[in-house]
Chain A
């Protein structure tokens, strides 16, 4: 068989395979039924998938089923407790030894509904808590927005392309 005919046969065969091969439908997972509306929470554990929507910005995926890395800036929406008592913002997090070794002590500041809270510097690795009383003027309405800002973070690298700052387990508003 001449080479050109063989080539034409191969092309025709491949075209036929292409045309006859049905694209299998993609299996999408869509949950149309809303979960019973439990409302928003005042305290959000970052591994709670039901409350993921309250993590507005700057959180990475859940790791080991219990915590999330954050970026340098991260934000969360929190239900304001209806206790009538003064509230505090509480962030429970860990400072990684690797981050501390590369960046040195890190400072964390926060705002609640735009009202700034005093920052704090963390010179040691390990479990940490950032807790600040919130002025009553910042807590009007039903839901508050808390924005956190660190002064430094590990930039995206070759092995991990994420910006990494602290490891957060929970964040919330609590009565004083």
Chain B
């Protein structure tokens, strides 16, 4: 279907920029958000060599994801260019979204053959609740970038259908393949394309089949190579819960349910409103002509297919997973707009935008304020470091927002501040079983008492948006409440835990420490027979290093021996002899069958270690 005749140039500019202007109006605070949470994990990526670069780009990371363009490459390059100035990162995200809205308008014009419906479709998607997190949080850029690949690829295919030119088809292939570097859900693109062909361009259906091959290969690789979580939020549930999850996503995508989180309208009323929107849409479809119905079916298929990869994640419902499926929803809504009476369609859109904009404005403000609190907190810790350059910094009174917003994802490391810990009495943080425990970030009681007694630590309380020196007060509290028990976890690269190390270790290097041929450290003894010893050794990529056989003993009892040959084989867990249960403190001994020397370094290097702990 061809677009209608074009209006004048000013109107044309307004037409193409209207969705983007609305996006800016609603999300402008997102442009000013600072970093938080997972952003810091990506900002810690440091490239030291070419092999480092490729490994960082392609190695599976959290939950087995491989997203070189949208996460690693993006953060590595922007960190290099702009450091911790968040604005360029945010600007780039916004520019990509502007491109998405233009692409979507162009695509919708071709599919719907209606200029007004096309721009409304872009506005329906651009203001969907799914966009909140991607437009506020840089780590969710993958959703925006993957949308770009979806929209570009489909637009190229539609151009191929319209013109018969094969170059569009091959460019579509290239864009589709590049999309694998943005987000795994691009794997569903060939099915979206299949739905498009079946609904709107049936003679071209066979052309979608070759695209299934890389998608199937990628899906197979993902399923077979990457280990799936068997429990927790990322566990797959392939059962009847899929339909329930789908229903919940549909209800959220329409807006009233998220609105009930920020406006006291009650969940039942919100659900009733979502059902009413769905029924109204179905009624409009009953009026619709065959063309509109085919477009609507394609939109629904898009919604379903693009959501399918995350539907098995029953316990990990995230609004931002709706980013790409919501394009299909917008298409289905635009088809209804053409079919329904104008007043009814306008009412429907007013309710939809009313819900989504109210939710988005509240949400974006929350994200903005949280990111600024994170920024002030990090700046405060940097200031404390400047005032106390040689002291350990202990933080008391840290709550969930700052812990999960900064500390958990190594925000201090990104800010270049070391030797900062949570105070051991900082217990007010809610544990999240799928994440690292809070205790990993606390200075153990014994080290805290030693540091306070020797005047080597300062303690600041983080509450009410400020940091307050409470060292004297805390020293009194700690001496009364803490017992100098040995720690269950020793990060050998932490200066304050040096007292736990026996002979055989070299100086701290980065966040780890090398041992020679033999080294010892002390840990708390196991409290139960189920306690095990876990160690993190770091394999060196130095050409002189080679594989190393590591033998581990505790109090003279040999636990076992393992070969560390690459960066994937550095983590090991050993059972502990029952005889050690109840022993207050144990000595762990590491022995290695080879050492090596690096040029201009006269140390005998065995292995580098990160953490040794009881789990």
Q: Which residues of A contact B (CB under 8 A)?
A: 14, 17-19, 21-23, 25-35, 37, 39-40, 49, 52-59, 75, 77, 141-143, 145, 158-159
Question: Which residues does chain B contribute within 8 Å of A57, judged by CB atoms?
Answer: 427-428
444-491 of chain B: CB within 8 A of chain A: 460-461, 463-474, 476-477, 480-481
Q: How far, in whole Å, are A108 and B87 apart by their CA atoms in the complex?
A: 50
Is B260 part of the contact surface with A, judged by Cβ < 8 Å?
yes
B91, B427, B469: the one contacting A14 at CB < 8 Å is B91
358-400 of chain B: CB within 8 A of chain A: 372, 375-380, 382-384, 387, 396-397
Q: How far, in whole Å, are A25 and B34 apart by their CA atoms in the complex?
A: 12
Residue of A nearest to B474 (CB): A53
Question: Which residues does chain B contribute within 8 Å of A19, judged by CB atoms?
Answer: 82, 88
**A29 touching B87, Cβ below 8 Å:** no
**B380 touching A37, Cβ below 8 Å:** no
Is B41 part of the contact surface with A, judged by Cβ < 8 Å?
no
9 interchain residue pairs of minimum CB distance: A143-B480, A28-B380, A29-B466, A26-B379, A57-B427, A18-B88, A23-B85, A28-B379, A26-B375
Most buried by B among A31, A141, A142: A31
Q: How far, in whole Å, are A31 and B428 apart by their CA atoms in the complex?
A: 22
Question: Which residues does chain A contribute within 8 Å of B480, judged by CB atoms?
Answer: 77, 141-143
**B91 touching A56, Cβ below 8 Å:** no
Q: How far is the CB of B603 from chain A (nearest CB, A)?
A: 39
Question: Which residues does chain A contribute within 8 Å of B264, judged by CB atoms?
Answer: 159
Interface magnitude class on chain B: 35 or more
A-B contact pairs, 9 of them (CB 8 A): A23-B86, A28-B377, A29-B465, A39-B476, A53-B470, A56-B427, A142-B476, A158-B267, A159-B261
Residue of A nearest to B423 (CB): A53
Question: Which residues does chain A contribute within 8 Å of B471, judged by CB atoms?
Answer: 34
**A18 touching B425, Cβ below 8 Å:** no
Q: How far, in whole Å, are A21 and B82 apart by their CA atoms in the complex?
A: 10
Whether A28 contacts B428 in the complex (CB less than 8 A), given A18-B87, A23-B86, comes out as: no
Question: Which residues does chain A contribute within 8 Å of B470, judged by CB atoms?
Answer: 34, 53
Q: How far is the CB of B268 from chain A (nearest CB, A)?
A: 12
Is B84 part of the contact surface with A, judged by Cβ < 8 Å?
yes
Most buried by B among A29, A77, A159: A29
B85, B468, B473: the one contacting A37 at CB < 8 Å is B473
Question: Which residues does chain B contribute within 8 Å of A39, judged by CB atoms?
Answer: 473, 476
Is B95 part of the contact surface with A, judged by Cβ < 8 Å?
yes
Q: How far, in whole Å, are A57 and B438 apart by their CA atoms in the complex?
A: 13
A23, A27, A31: the one contacting B468 at CB < 8 Å is A31
**A53 touching B473, Cβ below 8 Å:** yes
